[in-house]
Chain A
Amino acid sequence: MMDYVDLVFLTMGLLALSSVLFTFLTVRTKDLMYAVIYSSVQSVAYALIYFLLLAPDIVLVYVAVAVGIYPLVIILLIKKVGRYEVRV
């Protein structure tokens, strides 16, 4: 009933939806460390979408940057500005 291509597109759709959810959590959460983790999860969903779209070259650099380098830079920033977001 459901062939391979349908399965790939369904997975891509679910990943895209979950990335929207994690983007929402990233924006809404008050704890910035959690925001970094949510943002990384969203990036992983994007990396999987790239993989399903047959772009392995992008995946290789995307995973390294989104899970390794980008959280580091943001965490260094959080270390300087404080972990909890305060509304003024």
Chain B
Amino acid sequence: MRDIVFMSLLVVIILALTYLTYSGGLGDLPPQDIRVIARNYLNLTYNQEISWLWAASPEAVTAIVWDYRGLDTLFETVVFYGAILAALTLFRSISKIPEFVSSAGLSLIVKRVTAIVTLAILTVAASTALHGHLTPGGGFQGGAIASVAPLLLLVVFGKQFFIERKITYSKLLSLRNISLVLLGLNSVALVILGFLIGVGGFVFQNQAKAVSVLSYPSYLLDVPLGGSLFFFNLFEFLAVASGFTLVFTILLSRDDTLRKELEGEELGY
């Protein structure tokens, strides 16, 4: 009986949404014209004739994310950083407990397949992040893809695999902190440079504007570099990948270690 009510409710909702969409609730589908704001971004992002307003990146989305709306993305990064930091703080003493139990991992066949797949995942991730200013993708996307690789390795090869290769908790934490500091410095680099040589600059400056002549390089050899966008993507990639890996390392610890950490001291939960 409950199932029937639930199903009919579902069908009614679907039909209602279909009716609204079909009768023009979302406007013309597909849209017949480009909206003004989209047209502006498309006209400005890689228009060499208006190079005092461009972002030097053929990818409009990355240009919006890290140049035109760079501050928004910086705050997103800070929120993500804070969330991971909170998780690490909750389980901070786990990092100091050495894992005495060495898990042998899964069978040889799974290990070989995983080794090949891991290489492919890391390649795709690096290409997504480093080509973020040329093709769809970017630092966060690349970092999220890359973090699947250590996750697979942790499950298939066991935690011992990481410890033997000296990929430790503190090294990952340092990598993450360094890349976040560099990300922050990248956003104010031209302000500092402008201050030192006595010309104006602004936060999140990428290419030279009317009020400021400083500029990141827009080409590397003959490939568009996107100025600061390339560096933002690179540092975000490293920060996201190492942050996720840290959290996975903690989540995949032994059960009793985790439980002891959550039980707390004399006050209990």
A72 CB–B CB distance under 8 Å? yes
Q: Chain A 26-67 against B: per-residue CB contact (8 Å), 1 yes, 0 no?
A: 001000000000000000000000000000110111001100
Question: How many residues of A are in contact with the other chain, CB < 8 A?
Answer: 19
Q: Which of B6, B14, B144, B248 contacts A64 (CB 8 A)?
A: B144
Tell me the bound Cα distance from A67 to B163 in angstroms. Answer: 27
A81 CB–B CB distance under 8 Å? no
Chain B residues with Cβ under 8 A from A72's Cβ?
151, 248, 251
- Nearest Cβ in chain A — how far from B157, in angstroms? 15
Q: Which of A5, A57, A80 contacts B141 (CB 8 A)?
A: A57
Question: How many residues of B are in contact with the other chain, CB < 8 A?
Answer: 24
Tell me the bound Cα distance from A25 to B139 in angstroms. Answer: 34
Tell me the bound Cα distance from A27 to B29 in angstroms. Answer: 32
B137–A69 contact, CB under 8 A? no
A20–B14 contact, CB under 8 A? yes
B144–A65 contact, CB under 8 A? yes
B61 CB–A CB distance under 8 Å? yes
A9 CB–B CB distance under 8 Å? yes
A73 CB–B CB distance under 8 Å? yes
- Nearest Cβ in chain B — how far from A82, in angstroms? 13
B41 CB–A CB distance under 8 Å? no
Residue of A nearest to B151 (CB): A72
A interface residues (Cβ-Cβ under 8 A, vs B): 5, 9, 17, 20, 24, 28, 56-57, 59-61, 64-65, 68-69, 72-73, 76, 80
